[in-house]
C-alpha cells in the first residue's frame, strides 16, 4: 500500500491476527471465522447452513469479544413475536401520553452484531422488518425511523427454503457457509478443547470464562473497525475485473443464480480479502471468495468448478490456502513480537505450538518456499531455546 494507507495496512495485520486468535479456540472452523471477519469489514451478512451443535453461538460470542461487543442472539420459531426481537411497546408512555413507541434497548435494533438461529422460521412481520433493517440499517420505533448500529447479521438454518417469497430476504445474506460436525480425526481435539472450556466455567462458578485462561489480546475498537471499513473502499480492483466478468458470463450461461446485487457487492469481498493480506490491489486469489457467494446450495459445486477453471486458486473445503505473506509477515512477526512480552511457561509453549503449525502450513501449501520455511524454523528453534533457558530442560517436553 502507499504511505497514505500504511496505518490501515498495520491495522489490517492486527485484525487478521485477532481472527487467528479466535480460530485457535475452535477446531475446523477457520473458514466461517474468515467469513465473519470479511463480513464485518464489508458491512455484509452471513448465512450458515448446518445442524445444531456445531458451536455457532460460542464462536460468535468469541468473535464479538474481539470487536468489544456482545451479540443479540435469538432462536426464531413460527410462534416468535416481533416484540421478542425488536422490543416491546413502551406501555407507560402509551398509557400516559398516548404515544406508540417501541423500547428497543438491548434488542436487535441496538445490536452491532446479531445471530438469528433458524432465521427463515420467522413470521412475515418479522422477516419484512428484518429486510429493511439489514438492507438499509434503519428501524421504525413507532414514531420515527432511526439508523441502527448493525455491522453484520448472522443467520443460520438447516436448509435454504424453496419458497420464492423468501428469496429476496435470503439474497441479503451475501456470504454463505456450510457448517457440519468436525471430521472423525478431529474429534479428540474437539473433546480436549471442549473439556478445557467446561473446566474453566466450573472453576469460575458458572461465570463465563475464557477457555484459555486469558483474554483476547487488544480487541479491535469500533473506531478501528470503521477505519478498516473505509480502507476497503481504497483497494484497487483493476487487476481482477476482467477475470471476474468472464466468470460472471459463464455463471449466467450455465443458469446459475447470481443476482445483480450479489455481483456488485462481491467486489467489496475481493477488496476486503486484499486488505487483510496487506495489499492495496486485488489479486486473482481474492476471487476465491466467490465460492461462498452461491444462492442455491446445489450451485456451490458448479461455482467452485467455474472459479477454479478460470485460474483462481480455490481451496478445498475446510480451509483457505493462505499466502506466504500472511504466514510469515503477519503471523510469524506477531509471534516474534509477543515472544518478548510473555511471562509464563504456558504462554511460551503456546507460541511454540503456533510456530510449529506455521511450519506445517508452509510445508503443505508452499513446499517450494524454502527461504520462508527456513525463517519460520529458525524462529521455532529460538523459541525452544528460550523456553529451555527460562524453565529448564522440562520446559522442552
- Average per-residue pLDDT in the chain? 84
Of 286, 255, 206, 242, residue with least CA distance to 42: 286
Whether 396 has a pLDDT exceeding 50, the answer reads no
pLDDT of residue 184: 58
pLDDT tier, 397 (very low <50, low <70, confident <90, very high otherwise): very low
Of 194, 110, 175, 181, residue with least CA distance to 147: 110
Q: Measure Cα distances from 227 to 12, 119, 137 in Å.
A: 10, 30, 19
pLDDT of residue 214: 42
pLDDT of residue 194: 63
Whether 240 has a pLDDT exceeding 80, the answer reads yes
What span, in angstroms and rounded, lies between the C-alpha atoms of 152 and 114? Answer: 7
| Contact (CB, 8 A) for 328 and 277 | no
The per-residue pLDDT for range 168-187, each reduced to its tens digit, is 889 999 999 988 776 655 66
Task: For the domain made up of 1-67+151-310, give the CATH fold.
Answer: Rossmann fold (3.40.50)
Kindly list the domain boundaries of the chain, sorted by start residue. 1-67+151-310, 324-396
pLDDT of residue 183: 60
Matching residue, cell 512477526 = 333
Whether 388 has a pLDDT exceeding 50, the answer reads yes
H-helix or E-strand spanning residue 386? helix 370-391
Amino acid at each position: 500500500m502507499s504511505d497514505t494507507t500504511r496505518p490501515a495496512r498495520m491495522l489490517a495485520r492486527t485484525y487478521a491476527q485477532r481472527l487467528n486468535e479466535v480460530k485457535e479456540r475452535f477446531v475446523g472452523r477457520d473458514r466461517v471465522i474468515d467469513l465473519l471477519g470479511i463480513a464485518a469489514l464489508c458491512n455484509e451478512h452471513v448465512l450458515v447452513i448446518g445442524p445444531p451443535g456445531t458451536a455457532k453461538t460460542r464462536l460468535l460470542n468469541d468473535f464479538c469479544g474481539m470487536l468489544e461487543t456482545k451479540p443479540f442472539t435469538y432462536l426464531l420459531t413460527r410462534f416468535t413475536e416481533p416484540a421478542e426481537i425488536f422490543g416491546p411497546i413502551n406501555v407507560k408512555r402509551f398509557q400516559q401520553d398516548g404515544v406508540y413507541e417501541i423500547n428497543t434497548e438491548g434488542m436487535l435494533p441496538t445490536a452491532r452484531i446479531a445471530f438469528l438461529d433458524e432465521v427463515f422460521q420467522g413470521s412475515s412481520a418479522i422477516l419484512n422488518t428484518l429486510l429493511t433493517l439489514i438492507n438499509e440499517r434503519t428501524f421504525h420505533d413507532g414514531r420515527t425511523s432511526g439508523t441502527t448500529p448493525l455491522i453484520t447479521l448472522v443467520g443460520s438454518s438447516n436448509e435454504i427454503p424453496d419458497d420464492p417469497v423468501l428469496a429476496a430476504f435470503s439474497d441479503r445474506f451475501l456470504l454463505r457457509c456450510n457448517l457440519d460436525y468436525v471430521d472423525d480425526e478431529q474429534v479428540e481435539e474437539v473433546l480436549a478443547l471442549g473439556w478445557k472450556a467446561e473446566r474453566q466455567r466450573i472453576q469460575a462458578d458458572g461465570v463465563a470464562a475464557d477457555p484459555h485462561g486469558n483474554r483476547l489480546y487488544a480487541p479491535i475498537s469500533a473506531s478501528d473497525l470503521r477505519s478498516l471499513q473505509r480502507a476497503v473502499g481504497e483497494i484497487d480492483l483493476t487487476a481482477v475485473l476482467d477475470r471476474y466478468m468472464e466468470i460472471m458470463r459463464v455463471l449466467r450461461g450455465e443458469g446459475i443464480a447470481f443476482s445483480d446485487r450479489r455481483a456488485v457487492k462481491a467486489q467489496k469481498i475481493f477488496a476486503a480479502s486484499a486488505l487483510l493480506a496487506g495489499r492495496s490491489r486485488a489479486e486473482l486469489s481474492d476471487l476465491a471468495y466467490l465460492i461462498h457467494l452461491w444462492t442455491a446450495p446445489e450451485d456451490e459445486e458448479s461455482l467452485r468448478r467455474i472459479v477454479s477453471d478460470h485460474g483462481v486458486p480455490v481451496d478445498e473445503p475446510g480451509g483457505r490456502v493462505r499466502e506466504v505473506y500472511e504466514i510469515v509477515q503477519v503471523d510469524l512477526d506477531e509471534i516474534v513480537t509477543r515472544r518478548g512480552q510473555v511471562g509464563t511457561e504456558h504462554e511460551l509453549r503456546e507460541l511454540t505450538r503456533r510456530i510449529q503449525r506455521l511450519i506445517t502450513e508452509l510445508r503443505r501449501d508452499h513446499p517450494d518456499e524454502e527461504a520462508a520455511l527456513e525463517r519460520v524454523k529458525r524462529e521455532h528453534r529460538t523459541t525452544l531455546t528460550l523456553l529451555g533457558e527460562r524453565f529448564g530442560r522440562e520446559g522442552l517436553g
